[in-house]
Structure 1
Amino acid sequence: MRESGNPSGRRLIGTDLPFTGDATEVRAVLEAFKEILETLPDLSLAIAGFRDRSLRVPIWHLVEDLGLQGYVALYPYFDTLRDFPRFKSDCDFWIEREHLGATFSAQTLLDGVQNCTGVHRRALFFTMVHPGKNEGNSRLMRMWLDYIRSTGCRIHLVHYRYDRSAVTSAMRRRAQVEYDLYREINVESPLVGLNRSGSNIDVDDWTGPEVVEAVSELTQTFAYDYAVVNYGFSSAVFERVHAYTRKILLTHDVFADRNARMLQQGFKASGWASVEPQGEVTASERSDIVVAIQKDEQRMLAEMLPKNTDIRLICPVLEARTVDPRARTDKLRIGFFGSPNGVNQSNLLDYIDALLERPGVPERVEIVLAGGLCKDINRHIPQDKLDSVSASLFGEVSLLDEFFRECDIVVNPERGGTGIKIKSLETMAHGMPLLSTIAGASGLDSHSRFHNAPDVPSLAELTEEIVRDDNLLDMVRRDTIDAYESYKSLHRGGLAEIFGRGNDVELAACLITCGTPATRDNKIALNEVVNLDEDSMDLSLLEDFARPIEIADAANAAADLRAKTRELKYMLTVYQERDIAQDRGGAPAQALARMNTKFDAKLLLISMATPRSIRRLAKRGRHAIETPWQQHFFKYPWKFSEWRAMRRLQRRLQSDPKTKQRILDHLH
């Protein structure tokens, strides 16, 4: 990037406007800029613009006519902008396209420059693995998305539907509500997902033209401050991201010759994404920042990438959560959880085999399994081996807390690979005793012998030690807690260096809707109930919450919220009488009860229902407010959509300060 047209010492205003027709928008910006130069002579202006075939006026003529040579630099482009003096996030002010209109003037521009008003920070987040899934890579993405959102960025999430069969309708609905824009791109290219065991692919084989074109449409419409792409083999989308956007590659792993390395580490097959080494270089050259998530991976990337590559080490950090130790029994309950991939299943089988080789140990352990690997587990591990270690299947878990409460210790018999092992990180963050191989604790910087077993047989040997001396369990727990505290203190702040500081204000409330969609109109109306700023209310939970099938999703949403905030002041729920009918009346009440147990929060129920219904829920332990207009709403339960009802509630609260005060008094 160069500083052409931006003399040293001058503050820079940037913008990206279409060069079309009579260049009306460009003319308006130039005229306003000339006028404010009289007040702020230290400014310069950089204008990027898509050069449309309809352009009838040389833009530079407009600059000359206003005498702005030396103050203005033009950066026209035909497809993608390749050069700009600064990143958008580093400009002193950015003129958004939505600023321009009948109300745009020199005064509005001056106010914007002086007070930074009307600034819209946007982040494009691209992934072919949906961030809503209960898998390690998805959880890492959610950490990033939550942090970026906390900085005030508007998030545009693009999901390239490689994993569409594993994405539920609830995940999609939540993404539609949670992010400012959610775009799904269907996979049309036959190469996407295609590889064979031990082989490499070209870095762009898994990125079809359909998704590059879709990203191009977005960048022609929105000026992004940041573009985050997950995985180097998706980096081709950077080719359609403009030069003023800071491009961040979240690697997750080192994919150069990955399949060959996995086979060398003892895996029987490895046929997922693996690129030829030059592909890693190509991906880095498209990026402004390459992010490694653990030290060994950072070292590997530094050895293979050009010396001037900006490689950042940003390790994921989870908020510490405590799970109380379970009562000891005569058997050691060993937990293992993971997604249904061949690596997890192979590691688990090796660990069971290693335990079976140690006399007297299988009879004194129980293995508790959780996550997607429980599905069809008998296709990978014989039932007699599972029975020999008294294996029980916990299944998919919405809250890891529930799973951890059933375990004395958690193991990670990982044999290799790169990237950080999220399952180990989550175990440590919960304060659970962790027993791991060196590979399973890679990047966690623990010096405990319980986290550094050289191989799976050595891990089984450590397990036997604990079986024969249960006092060691407390030692493992202390080592795990100490290791995680050290890890947290070492790796906090990495995201802030890129995106700026997050909002320190804790999330104050979340909104749950029962049986009806969560909408931003509800959010605005409910602000009147609790006097909250809209940004402090979470609207990302559920639709159709009254259905029993969604209760597990409610618990999962509770876990997500707990990860976002240390203190939740209260939860709000909106429901209608038909959602708590006799046949299924227990479902929402039970789900709400489970939600409320996860928070030190009061639960405010605002109902389009009858007082009788509220009393029925209140008897089950929920906080309820009976408002005098409930009966008024219930007269028309089928005629008004929820948002209209909430608008009525908003107006009634404005004219009924006594009731509003009752609600606030109850909350406080």
Structure 2
Amino acid sequence: MRILAISPTPSHPQDAGNRARIHAVLSGLKSAGHAIHFCLLMRENPPPAALAAMRDAWDEVIEVPHDRAQEARSLDPLNAIDDWILPEAEAAFAALAARQPRFDLVLVNYVFLSRALTFFDHRTIKVIDAHDIFAGRAEALAAIGLENRFFATTPEEESAGLDRADLVLAIQDEERRHFTLVTRAATATLGHLPADPRPPLPPGDGLAIGYLGSSNPLNTRALRHFLAALPPAEAAAAGGRIVVAGGACQGLEETPGLTLLGPVPDPDTLYAAADLVVNPHEGGTGLKIKTVEALARGRPVIGTAAAFAGLPAEHVFHAAPDAAAVARLARRWLASAGFREEVAEASARLADRYALEVAAARHRLASPAGLAALLDRPRLLMITDVPYWRGSLGNQARIGAVVEAAREQFDLDLFFTGELPGAEREAARRALGRRGRLFTPKPSGEVEMPWGLTPFERARFDGATLAALEAHLARNPPQAVMIQYLRLSWMRLARGMPKLTVLDTHDVMSLRAQNFRLFGQEHFIQIPVAEELRILDGFSQVMAIQAEEARWLEALLPGRIILAPHALPALLPARGSPQGHPPRIGFIGGDSPMNRDGLRWLMDQVWPAIRPLGAELHVAGGVCTEMPKGRPGVVLHGEVPDQQAFLDTLDIAVNPVFYGGGLKIKTVEYLCRGLPSVLTAEALFGIQGGAGTAYALAEDRAQFAGGLATLVRDGAARRRMAEAAFAFGRRHFGPRALEPAMAGLAGLARGVPRLSPVSVAV
């Protein structure tokens, strides 16, 4: 392909993160055999040596004059999307668009240059490498006391710019999820690795802690906070030292335990002097290039969650909440050889995983077939009656996670069969993203009950809703349909259904009902196993939320079961109760029979043995309404506006349910928040592999009380389990947990023929 790359910053030398990013992306395309024509707006006036290096690297360099003094801020204090497009750039873009032979692909760096894409017609693939999110940037910086000195705009302006592209590249997954909500363009993640052919540096054997950063206010602020929490004199007393390189050295003075290298021509100057690299970055967006660079050069890294945003991190030392927490972890690194080894091994594994991800993403972008697949987004129709956008119940959270994962692979339509008042309708639209479409049943008369429904389905059949669905399918034919929950399965026989039909089971309802009956409870859905299997057999694919159910179903419906685990965003480890406060044990749950019975059992049979140890039991959610008041040491919070804020205050979590079936979303949340937990076998249904390390499995009263007592008394045991729980949660239920399932479905859907809409008389 002939590729035109447009940039406001040079690709050489790679002495800043954005330059390294541009160089790495274009080098990957060049090495795949594509011709690179580099159009550089002379905003930074690179010296002759840099221009010569760029001419050597690329097939052509086009210099476009640019006067930074003419850059507008027409939405003062913010920018309109085209404020930095000057007449010289307009003329250059027009001339480039008129060239013959034409360019096959135009790659614009930064959304504020997206105006360039409007000069090219549909025959040219138009791509934006976003680098960062610019909507809300100024406000986010102001919130931490910093002034915006670069481009910043409104959500509306940024969306307008992104919509000019066929494909928007995000530098990390969290930003891709944002872009899927705000643009009609297809999106993909293309991470960053420096184009450095050198092998990683050998491991160090000292206790030097390194930091490399420019004089960017975000860097200097984070470094100040880190040094305040870990004074260099303390590091020196522990046998270590802190080494700082780059512009971040400005304003610092060398003291015992603090070495200042100043600006360095090669980052390896710092990495060779450091045995550990820290990144205490607080706030900001984008991928933190210095985190990636240190990992790629073979250095163990400890940092904040912001410093590791977009990386497949699994450990608490790669997800610290702030710079002070990074300092505490660095102090532990100085003191413990075992912890040093753990950080080194985890950092090496993370570097390897991330390198494979970036290599695969680069290959897709450079391959015409891979690029075509990124742009070919099949249409998925999702059918539900659950207002999942509220996110307050487990089933809502589950459907919301599926929608978020599907949004990255499909053009998503929602056929919502319930009531949608105005505010709810707007919330539902936002959750679908700007490419998504929301539909509700429109009166289309009624249709007769189709042949082939089971008794369970016939009892729930609605002829008017089926008629509305059939009319919708005729007007808006999808490549795939996904139905949420068994109770809507009767819609599978609508005329116009595509070949690819999917049921997201959430649970095997017949087995769940059996589980309830064992404990004298009646489940609201009653269906025999054989009838449920007959219904599932009517779908081409069936999604199971956890491995145990997936294995059981696969044995009965081979080749048609998709394991689609629940996925949670990259949550931070819970902070816990304030220092000096009694340990807080917590439970959160709705007003269901299994929650009520399990919590009553805990309060009657276990709590009397735990209360004398000085702990408190905090309960939140609808389950509080049926709990006895006035129990010593028990605090009933009722419904809480922010469930994650409640979990953040806990030191230990419990889930004492002993019937119910299905995956317990609150158990998953406990793990992903790094909460050491005592859990029944039922609370762990479908979760395996972490007993005794990531959580305590309690099979009777004695084990439950014993597990809780150990965690209350032993702070070190609590910390070990918290760290193991966090890693377990990220590994099994992290942001990418649903990605393989949705990618597999999208691959199947691309093989389904696209039908033309037909008009339907109403």
Structure-2-length-normalised TM-score: 0.45
**Per-residue deviation at 1:153?**
1.6
Paired letter, 1:438: A
Instruction: Return the letter of the residue paired with 2:53.
Output: R
User: Paired residue for 1:354?
Assistant: 229
Q: Would you say 1:231 and 2:105 are equivalent positions?
A: no
Question: How far apart are the structure 1 equivalents of 2:275 and 2:324?
Answer: 20
Instruction: Tell me the residue number matched to 2:85.
Output: 207
Question: Equivalent residue for 1:407?
Answer: 274
How far did 1:128 drift?
Answer: 0.5
In the TM superposition, residue 362 of structure 1 has moved relative to its aligned partner by 5.4
| Counterpart Cα distance in 2 of 1:247 and 1:351 | 42
> 1:223-302, aligned counterparts within 5 Å?
223-264=102-143, 266-302=144-180
Matched, 1:137 2:18: yes
The answer to whether the aligner puts 1:125 opposite 2:9 as a matched pair is no
Alpha-carbon deviations, 1:242-262, whole Å to 9, x = none? 331111000001111211012
> In 1, distance between residues paired with 2:167 and 2:191?
15
Answer yes or no: is the 8 Å Cα contact 1:135–1:338 preserved in 2.
no
Aligned to 1:81: none
Aligned twin of 1:216: 94
Q: Percent identity, please.
A: 25
Task: For residue 270 of structure 1, give the secondary structure of its aligned residue in structure 2.
Answer: coil
What SS does the aligned partner of 2:5 have? Answer: strand
SS of match in other structure, 2:138:
helix
Partner of 1:391: 259
Q: Deviations over 1:51-107 (max 9, x none)?
A: xxxxxxxxxxxxxxxxxxxxxxxxxxxxxxxxxxxxxxxxxxxxxxxxxxxxxxxxx
- Residue 152 of structure 1: how far off its partner (Å): 1.8
How far apart, CA to CA, are the structure 2 residues paired with 1:313 and 1:229? 15
Residue 326 of structure 2 corresponds to residue 459 of structure 1: yes
Partners in 1 of 2:54 and 2:129 — Cα distance? 20
Query: Post-superposition shift, 1:299?
Result: 1.3
1:333 corresponds to 2:212: no
Structure 1 gaps, min length 5:
1-120, 503-668
Aligned partner letter, 2:221: S
Question: Aligned partners of 2:74 and 2:337: how far apart in 1?
Answer: 46
Per-residue displacement from partner, 1:553-596 (whole Å, max 9, x unpaired)? xxxxxxxxxxxxxxxxxxxxxxxxxxxxxxxxxxxxxxxxxxxx
Structure 1 residue 325 displacement after superposition: 2.2
Deviation at 1:173, TM superposition (A): 1.0
Give 1:479 shift: 0.7
Q: Does the 8 Å contact 2:233/2:257 carry over to 1?
A: no
TM-score by length of 1: 0.52
Q: Distance in 1 between matches of 2:109 and 2:35?
A: 18
Q: 2:190 aligns with which of 277, 301, 314?
A: 314
User: What residue is the counterpart of 1:367 in the other structure?
Assistant: 242
Decide whether the 8 Å contact of 1:158 with 1:185 is kept in 2: yes
Return the offset for 1:469.
Answer: 2.0
C-alpha displacement of 1:363: 4.2
Q: Paired residue for 2:40?
A: 159
Distance, in Å, in 1 between the alignment partners of 2:28 and 2:368 is 9
**1:234-292 CA deviation, whole Å, 9 max, x = no partner?**
1111122233111100000111121101222x243223211111112111221111111
CA contact (8 A) 1:397 1:403 kept: no
CA contact (8 A) 1:193 1:273 kept: no
Which of 5, 18, 29 is 1:148 aligned to? 29
Contact 1:195 1:271 in 2 (8 A): no
Query: Which residue is equivalent to 1:588?
Result: none
CA separation in 1, counterparts of 2:217 and 2:74? 15
Whether contact under 8 Å (1:188, 1:210) holds in the other structure is: no
**Deviates further, 490-499 or 437-446:** 490-499
User: SS at 1:444's partner residue?
Assistant: coil
Aligned amino acid, residue 391 of structure 1:
T
Q: Which residue of 2 aligns with 1:570?
A: none
- Does residue 168 of structure 1 match 2:47? yes
Query: 1:450 offset after TM fit, Å?
Result: 1.5
What do residues 197-234 of structure 1 show as CA deviations (whole Å, max 9, x unaligned)? x9421011112121121121122224101111011011
Question: What SS class does the counterpart of residue 249 from structure 1 fall into?
Answer: strand
Assess if the C-alpha contact under 8 Å between 1:127 and 1:159 holds in 2. Answer: yes
Structure 2 residue identity aligned to 1:493: A
| One-letter identity of the residue aligned with 2:186 | D
- Cα–Cα, structure 1 residues 191 and 353, in superposed 2: closer, same or farther, change >3 Å? farther
| Alignment partners' CA distance in 2, 1:366 and 1:160 | 43
Summarize the Cα distance change of 1:200–1:388 in structure 2 as closer, same or farther, 3 Å threshold. Answer: farther
Amino acid corresponding to residue 480 of structure 1 in structure 2: S
3-state SS of 1:159 partner: strand
Matches within 5 A, 1:570-585: none
Instruction: Describe the shift of the 1:466–1:189 C-alpha distance in structure 2 as closer, same or farther (beyond 3 A).
Output: closer
Mapping of residues 92-107 of structure 1, within 5 Å: none
**How do residues 433-512 of structure 1 correspond to structure 2 at under 5 angstroms?**
433-500=300-367
The one-letter code sitting in structure 1 at the alignment partner of 2:151 is A
Structure 1 counterpart SS, 2:230: helix
Against the structure 1 CA distance between its residues 242 and 372, is the aligned structure 2 distance closer, same or farther, given a 3 Å change threshold? Answer: farther
Q: Which residue of 1 aligns with 2:182?
A: 304
Q: Residue 340 of structure 1 contacts residue 372 of structure 1 at CA under 8 Å; is this kept in 2? A: yes
Aligned counterparts of 2:236 and 2:41: Cα–Cα separation in 1? 44
- SS at 1:138's partner residue? helix
How far apart are the structure 2 equivalents of 1:369 and 1:193?
Answer: 36
Is residue 371–residue 397 contact of structure 1 (8 Å, CA) maintained in 2?
Answer: no
Q: 1:327 to 1:496 in 2, by over 3 A?
A: closer
| Offset at residue 142 of structure 1 (A) | 0.8
Structure 1 residues 390 and 498 mapped into 2: Cα distance closer, same or farther (>3 Å)? closer
TM-superposed deviation, 1:432: 0.6
Q: Given the superposition, is the C-alpha separation of residues 170 and 194 from structure 1 closer, same or farther in structure 2, using an over 3 Å criterion?
A: farther
Contact 2:277-2:300 within 8 A present in 1 as well: yes
> Would the aligned equivalents of 2:247 and 2:262 in 1 still touch at CA under 8 Å?
no
TM-superposed deviation, 1:389: 4.1
Return the letter of the residue paired with 1:150: S
**Deviation for aligned residue 1:474:** 2.1
Decide whether aligned partners of structure 1 residues 359 and 387 sit closer, same or farther in structure 2, where only a CA change above 3 A counts. closer
- Rounded Cα–Cα distance in structure 2 between residues aligned with 1:193 and 1:421: 28
Aligned residue-pair number: 364
* Distance in 1 between residues matched to 2:355 and 2:57, nearest whole Å: 27
Q: Give the aligned residue type for 2:136.
A: D
The aligned amino acid for 1:182 is: V
Contact 2:193 2:293 in 1 (8 A): no
